[in-house]
Amino acid sequence: MCGIVGILGSKPVATDLVDALRRLEYRGYDSAGIATVENGHLERRRAEGKLRNLESRLLSEPLTGRTGIGHTRWATHGRPTERNAHPHMSAKVSVVHNGIIENFRELKAELTAKGHSFETDTDTEAVVHLVSDELDQGRRPIDAVRAALGKLKGAFALGIIFAGEDDLMIAARQGSPLAIGHGRGEMYLGSDAIALAPFTDAITYLEEGDWAVMRRSGVEVFDRAGECVTRPLVKSVASSLLVDKGNHRHFMAKEIHEQPDVISHTLSNYLDMANARVAFPDLGVDLAKISRVTISACGTAYYAGLVGKYWIERYARLPVEIDVASEARYREAPLPDSGLALFVSQSGETADTLATLRYARANGQRIASIVNVRTSTIARESDAVLPTLAGPEIGVASTKAFTCQLAALACLAIALGKARGVISEAQEQELVTALVEVPRLISSMLHNEEQFVELAQALSKARDVLYLGRGSSYPIALEGALKLKEISYIHAEGYAAGELKHGPIALIDENVPVIVVAPEDDLLEKTVSNVQEVAARGGQIILISNANPEKIGCALAAHIVPPTAHPLTNPLIYAVPVQLLAYHTAVFMGTDVDQPRNLAKSVTVE
């Protein structure tokens, strides 16, 4: 995840900006930079690689401004070069940005037609020129940003400073977190409270859609509608050495809300977003000549792999074998020549998965792994590593690591389909564009969380809960059931919807909630018939679907409506409501959400 910091200080801020960025290094980055207001004009220093390179630059070319912004960048649009590093700026405005501006190509074309000249490959530069264009029309900085925000589409966080404005910084949050720190005659901005820990423990967290006008005397916060609002000032317990919960009650809640941010960074590792193309790393094997993909994983990672099976077979027309690692390691399964063995693990230390990896290597497979820890054993023993850029996941029940695994698998499916000639260039652009929209769509769901709180109170009374899904929604049903039993201790099971009448329907009565994951796609009609079977037996139907309820043809206990998305991305979108449902049910029941009984984050023994 990119890191954002900002300081309205009483003394030169360059050193403190770099120190704050250092506390965000855990997020990962490939370049860094700062910009300050220097005697009325803007100056910046940027460098590729680690912060020490930026520090060396500042030693030879110091900055003395008291107002500044800083950024550690993980490349999304454009290569990790100094030219593409943040802050981006014009003569009038400088911007640091986290997230994705989905409509930057349209904005770039519009602004280029007006005479603006773009110098980088990034989406962020569109924000610079958009605000500059509003300033050129005579608007004041605050009004210019207000107008520009209304034209941006995507999930993002922004920090903005202006030439000639030594006592002004503007922040905006839409899908990516931002924290504002309060000091004595100073104000601070950070991606999270960790960056601000040495300066202040008085924090205001911006809510979704907020934007804020910061001066040394304080901050004014405005909501999405432009109304001035009051956000609570809280005492942070963040340490520069610890990951912080922010303004969330549990780490799991924080990690659910981080998903728009971390998914965008994971996608950026595998996609050329500027040109809507896949840009997959070299796996050391000709993707067109792979005879079969064999996936092995445990728990939630297995369900991610199961979604990957649907995707790879559909979009690459390549056969996929998948098994839970604890079974695969003992099955002594025959493995084909020219096969790719793919291992999915959050920690990269899962004992059963590692043992299966070693079996696959002994049987001549090319080894690739999807892991969140690049220094892990599984990563070290793989021929190719596909990292998920989820950052530290503290909650035992995986959330953001799961959706980042899905993001990496979706990109792999497209890369395989392209290499095998199954996907045309037009289809590639369609699929990549759909993936780029995912952070914004998830963010829109997180903005309507209250419905899950109400539903959780009813669900907490159940002893047994069934989840149903069909096609790529079936693994999401399995994952939803796993999440609920992991953290609420309610017995829950996931089933393929078509299997309902082959046994599980015997469990259904008026006391059994049945949660149906059913996006409106070419399988909806079949799933509806299963829903009607549940209704006929008095089951309480909780529908998670963007379909019109009239198409269901029976009474619903509740209807959660995710945004409409491309069929490829539905598993990513629909993972979020099943996470929220489990989380709020567990909170209502008072269980230990982050550390549920009997469970460990990483299973390193058999």
Question: What six digits make up the tokens of 105?
Answer: 């190509």
Question: What six digits make up the tokens of 40?
Answer: 């009325």
Q: Which CATH superfamily is domain 3-247 in?
A: Aminohydrolase, N-terminal nucleophile (Ntn) domain (3.60.20.10)
73: three-class secondary structure by DSSP: strand
pTM value is 0.75
Asked if residue 406 lies in contact with residue 571, where contact means CB atoms within 8 angstroms, the answer is yes
Asked if residue 511 lies in contact with residue 463, where contact means CB atoms within 8 angstroms, the answer is yes
Q: For position 602, what pLDDT does the model report? A: 54
Q: For position 1, what pLDDT does the model report? A: 54
Q: What is the 8-class DSSP label of residue 337?
A: T
| β-pair partners for 46 | 33
Where does residue 362 rank: exposed (0-12), middle (13-18), buried (19+ CB within 10 A)?
Answer: exposed
Separation CA 87–CA 84 (nearest Å): 9
- The CA angle 386-154-316, to the nearest 5 degrees, is 40
User: Is residue 404 flagged as an active site residue?
Assistant: no
Question: What six digits make up the tokens of 328?
Answer: 């695969």
115: three-class secondary structure by DSSP: coil
Asked if residue 516 lies in contact with residue 559, where contact means CB atoms within 8 angstroms, the answer is no
| Residues of the chain where predicted confidence (pLDDT) is lower than 50 | 240-241, 604-606
Q: For position 241, what pLDDT does the model report? A: 44
Separation CA 109–CA 209 (nearest Å): 26
Question: Fold identical between 254-436 and 444-589?
Answer: yes
User: Is residue 2 flagged as an active site residue?
Assistant: yes
Question: What six digits make up the tokens of 454?
Answer: 């109400």
Q: Is the dihedral of CA 452, 458, 461, 464 positive or negative?
A: negative
489: three-class secondary structure by DSSP: coil
Q: What is the 3-state secondary structure (H, E, C) of 270-284?
A: CEEHHHCEECCCCCC
Where does residue 150 rank: exposed (0-12), middle (13-18), buried (19+ CB within 10 A)?
Answer: exposed
520: three-class secondary structure by DSSP: coil
Where do the structural domains in the chain lie, given as residue ranges? 3-247, 254-436, 444-589
Asked if residue 400 lies in contact with residue 256, where contact means CB atoms within 8 angstroms, the answer is yes
Give phi and psi for 569, each to the nearest 5: -95, -5
Nearest to 194 by CA among 388, 26, 386: 26
Q: For position 526, what pLDDT does the model report? A: 83
Separation CA 547–CA 568 (nearest Å): 17
Number of H helices, E strands in the chain: 19, 27
Separation CA 241–CA 252 (nearest Å): 19
Q: Which CATH number fits domain 254-436: 3.40.50.300, 3.40.50.20, 3.40.50.10490, 3.40.47.10?
A: 3.40.50.10490
Q: For position 22, what pLDDT does the model report? A: 85
Q: For position 467, what pLDDT does the model report? A: 95
CATH of domain 444-589: 3.40.50.10490
Q: For position 600, what pLDDT does the model report? A: 58
pLDDT in tens, 451-486: 899 899 889 989 999 999 999 999 999 999 999 999
Q: What is the 8-class DSSP label of residue 75?
A: -
Q: For position 604, what pLDDT does the model report? A: 39
Active-site pick, 2, 298, 404, 411:
2
Question: What six digits make up the tokens of 83?
Answer: 């030219």
Active-site pick, 151, 153, 485, 601:
601
Q: What is the 3-state secondary structure (H, E, C) of 201-225?
A: CEEEECCCCCEEEEECCEEEEECCC
Separation CA 176–CA 134 (nearest Å): 24
Q: What is the 8-class DSSP label of residue 250?
A: S
122: three-class secondary structure by DSSP: coil
Q: For position 605, what pLDDT does the model report? A: 41
